[in-house]
Amino acid sequence: MYRKTVASLLMVSAWFFSSLAANLSAERPAASLPAHLAESGIPTQGEINLAGTWLEAVVPDAAKKHSTEARLDDWIGTALPFGFQYGGKVFASLVSVWKFQHTEPKQEGNLQTWERSWTDPETALKVTWHIKRFLDFPAVEWTLSFANPGDKAVVIEQLTSLDLNLGTRDVEKPCIVRGANGGRSEADDMLPVTWVLENDRTASGPTSLGGDDSPSNVHLPFWNLQLPEQRGAVVGVGAAGWWRTDIARDGQRLTCKVIGPDRGTMKIEPKQNCQTARVLVSLWKGKWLHGNNVFRRLLYAHYVPALRGEPQKPLVSMNVCFTHHGGGLFLEKVTEKHVLSLIEPFARLGAELLIIDAGWYSHEGQKWFGPKNDWRPDPEKYPQGFTRIADRLRRQGIDFGLWMNAPDDPAQDAAFLDRIADLVNHQGLTCYRQDITPTNRAVIDTLRRRYPRLVMEGCCGGGRNIDLETISRFHWHQKSDRWFDTHSDECGLYGANLFLPGGVINVPTQATDNFGVWSSFGGQLCLAWHPLDQDFPREKARRQVELYKRVRPLLSGDFYPLTECTPAVPWLAYQFHRTDLDRGFALIFKRAASAGDSFVFAPKSLDPQSRYVIRCEGSGLEAVYTGAELAKGIPLVLKNTPAAELVIYEKQ
């Protein structure tokens, strides 16, 4: 019976992916959410209307050049949500004397775009506000651009790409800011963090988030601002480098300022155009987790690139740098012989993508990070280029990827793109793995435009360059350069999935046991295995890959923490749920013997009146419960330490 169930689930998994876009678009905004969906990512029509009304209030037109200091619906400011100083004067004092221009909204699908611009009558400096409104989500995105047509450099100071002013009447209760650490190769990578802001002081933690010259080197550039009235905003930033957010509470005011780029000072040379960081604001009412899940759905629907015409799904990959017990450092020693020996073993395990990491090019006797020839395969390591490797992978139905580092100098773009063209057209390249995200994003956009079927993987200095810009260009992103720490991976995926769609964070695993390998199931699964070893548990590993492929269609669903998340928490659990399918799965980790043997599993978002079939992949338990019974919790026994359980459920 179990084999038949597995086979049927594998057969319908293809249908899940093909129907995903239609299902998500068919799930229209609700007037209000039922109690069991209160934390789901379904936006309400009221939230969408609120975002539209706020945008109309803050965006000036020909008859309303002056911004106001009023608050919409008594809680969100209607002044221009950005600012800077120019010539010693704040921009708000200049808008009435600069020449104003505007465009009417243009609509394409569920997107509306507007532009508002102001031109200095003396220097002709032009500031343009590029605005995007999402009609299917309660969200607005914008950037600012500065064009200096004059003969002298101009300086913009105290630049804030976002200047958000929220309000509360309840001065006795705190405001709460939720975010996550960045991927800086530490044990607490992407760990969720919370700051509590009392009336006039910070009760815990700092009030600043930042990137420290890389967008996600300190914190992920995504956070949720919660007011005492159970409403707020989730904010995301796309920054090429340094950014900082200052959040302050002063009585009835909660302010959030995104400083930057360039530490708030921008020198614009003659005939130069500059652009600020990209800012995304998503408004919400109700449960704070509802705000996060709406934001995650927004990113999945409008930012994460489609994969070959279908909504993104995380492919099971393997990177040669982890093989031969290299621990991520088997790089410049890799040869064609090594790669060819791995293809059939990993194909039998179910891998869908093979990547040759750094060091495949000539580097003049230095290590892989030394001078890069001109992106040609090293003739000593790959005497026939990659054609034999690519042909064998193609016969196995496996994609072929290479580590690259696009130039930051636009003068090198043409040569680099020519080399990629050769790799794609003549060497069989189907996946591009980018390290150190370039500030010159044009070359990446050109690649995506020329080769729309190219799989895009972000390495980006480990996990230090994850932001709105990279999220919209790559299918998934490496968590960090710290690997094989299951407790760290569990917490990191917990924190990342609070803000990012499931399956967009790459987590390599050496493990084949349930506790170890399931710690990576909340992300894009990268197999750091050694199948050439005589004692490698091949059949066990193959079953784990099959299991991951069964649950990965559900990673695009809403994310529900089922426990708190700290490095020392004895039980850690979280859940993914697809409301359009009424199906999901949960991962439960027993991390310390002090936890005891019993965990109360109480999944969220289930219809109380419906019946659900649940199967525990660890214990083999299979049963049927109503949504109401599951909401109250059922005990699951895990006697060993460490131990893990994977619960898959679906509506009967």
CATH of the domain at 67: 2.70.98
Dump the DSSP string for 79-110: S-S-EEEETTEEGGGTTTTSEEEE---EEETT
pLDDT-based confidence at residue 8 (cuts at 50, 70, 90) = very low
Query: Is 397 within the bounds of a domain?
Result: yes
Check whether residue 546 and residue 594 sit in a common domain.
Answer: no
Q: Is residue 209 scored above 70 in pLDDT?
A: yes
Span 356-360, average pLDDT? 94
Mark which of 238, 271, 302 sits at the end of a domain: 302
Mark which of 495, 526, 555 sits at the end of a domain: 555
Query: Is 620 within the bounds of a domain?
Result: yes
Check whether residue 61 and residue 27 sit in a common domain.
Answer: no
Query: Is 605 within the bounds of a domain?
Result: yes
Span 611-640, average pLDDT? 97
Q: Is residue 84 scored above 80 in pLDDT?
A: yes
In this structure, are strands 505-509 and 524-527 parallel, antiparallel, or unpaired? parallel
Query: Is 591 within the bounds of a domain?
Result: yes
Q: Is residue 521 scored above 90 in pLDDT?
A: yes
Query: Is 498 within the bounds of a domain?
Result: yes
Q: Is residue 226 scored above 70 in pLDDT?
A: yes
Check whether residue 297 and residue 342 sit in a common domain.
Answer: no
Reported as a single tens digit per residue, the pLDDT across 96-122 is 999 999 999 999 999 999 999 999 999
Q: pTM of the entire structure?
A: 0.94
Span 303-321, average pLDDT? 97
Least confident range of 87-96, 390-399, 438-447, 543-552: 438-447
Check whether residue 331 and residue 433 sit in a common domain.
Answer: yes
Check whether residue 460 and residue 387 sit in a common domain.
Answer: yes
Least confident range of 137-146, 185-194, 332-341, 404-413: 404-413
425: CATH = 3.20.20.70
Query: Is 308 within the bounds of a domain?
Result: no
8: CATH = 2.60.40.1180
Helix, strand, coil percentages, rounded to 5, for the chain: 25, 35, 40
pLDDT-based confidence at residue 437 (cuts at 50, 70, 90) = low
State phi, psi for 606 to the nearest 5 degrees: -90, 140
Nearest CA to 251 among 199, 176, 174, 195?
Answer: 199
The pLDDT, as a whole number, for residue 410 is 87
* Crossing angle of helices 387-395 and 336-349, rounded to 10°: 10
The pLDDT, as a whole number, for residue 447 is 96
Is residue 216 a contact partner of residue 227, using CB atoms and an 8 Å limit? no
d(CA 488, CA 495): 11
Q: Is residue 641 scored above 70 in pLDDT?
A: yes
232: which 2 tokens? Answer: 């707020």
Q: Is residue 506 scored above 90 in pLDDT?
A: yes
Reported as a single tens digit per residue, the pLDDT across 29-76 is 877 899 999 999 999 999 999 999 999 999 988 666 555 668 888 899
36: which 2 tokens? Answer: 């069991």
pLDDT-based confidence at residue 206 (cuts at 50, 70, 90) = low
- Helix, strand, or coil (residue 253): strand
Is residue 310 a contact partner of residue 499, using CB atoms and an 8 Å limit? no
In this structure, are strands 126-134 and 71-72 parallel, antiparallel, or unpaired? unpaired
pLDDT-based confidence at residue 312 (cuts at 50, 70, 90) = very high
d(CA 170, CA 252): 7
Check whether residue 224 and residue 290 sit in a common domain.
Answer: yes
Q: Is residue 638 scored above 60 in pLDDT?
A: yes
The pLDDT, as a whole number, for residue 16 is 41
Q: What percent of the chain has pLDDT over 70?
A: 92
Check whether residue 182 and residue 197 sit in a common domain.
Answer: yes
d(CA 638, CA 452): 46
Q: What percent of the chain has pLDDT over 90?
A: 80
pLDDT-based confidence at residue 201 (cuts at 50, 70, 90) = low
How confident is the prediction for the chain on average, in pLDDT? 91
Q: Is residue 419 scored above 90 in pLDDT?
A: yes
Q: Is residue 25 scored above 50 in pLDDT?
A: no
**What are the CA-CA distances from residue 101 to residues 60, 151, 515 (Å)?**
10, 23, 59
In this structure, are strands 76-77 and 139-148 parallel, antiparallel, or unpaired? unpaired
Reported as a single tens digit per residue, the pLDDT across 549-574 is 999 999 999 999 999 999 999 999 99
Check whether residue 259 and residue 400 sit in a common domain.
Answer: no
d(CA 131, CA 105): 9
The pLDDT, as a whole number, for residue 236 is 97
Span 252-261, average pLDDT? 89
Mark which of 555, 589, 605 sits at the end of a domain: 555
Domain span at 568: 2-33+559-651
Span 191-214, average pLDDT? 77
Q: Which residues in 287-326 belong to E strands, given as ranges?
A: 317-319
Residues 6+ apart with CB under 8 A from 517: 509, 511, 544
Check whether residue 631 and residue 572 sit in a common domain.
Answer: yes
Span 158-164, average pLDDT? 95
HSE of 382, CA atoms in CB hemisphere, 13 A: 21
Check whether residue 240 and residue 97 sit in a common domain.
Answer: yes
Which of 622-625's residues contact partners 24+ apart within 8 Å by CB, and which partners? Answer: 624/652
Q: Is residue 128 scored above 90 in pLDDT?
A: yes
Check whether residue 140 and residue 7 sit in a common domain.
Answer: no
Residues 6+ apart with CB under 8 A from 374: 361, 415, 419
Is residue 384 a contact partner of residue 335, using CB atoms and an 8 Å limit? no
The pLDDT, as a whole number, for residue 324 is 94
Amino acid, res. 316 = V
The pLDDT, as a whole number, for residue 129 is 97
Least confident range of 81-90, 343-352, 374-383, 386-395: 374-383
Give just the sign of the alpha carbon dihedral 491, 496, 502, 507: negative
Residues 6+ apart with CB under 8 A from 37: 579, 605
The pLDDT, as a whole number, for residue 5 is 40
Domains in the chain: how many in total?
3
* Crossing angle of helices 336-349 and 538-551, rounded to 10°: 70
d(CA 45, CA 48): 5
Q: How far apart are the first and last CA of the chain?
A: 17
Span 394-403, average pLDDT? 98
Query: Is 310 within the bounds of a domain?
Result: no
d(CA 645, CA 134): 38
DSSP-derived letter for residue 374 is S
Query: Is 330 within the bounds of a domain?
Result: yes
Check whether residue 350 and residue 232 sit in a common domain.
Answer: no
Q: Is residue 3 scored above 50 in pLDDT?
A: no
Q: Is residue 241 scored above 80 in pLDDT?
A: no
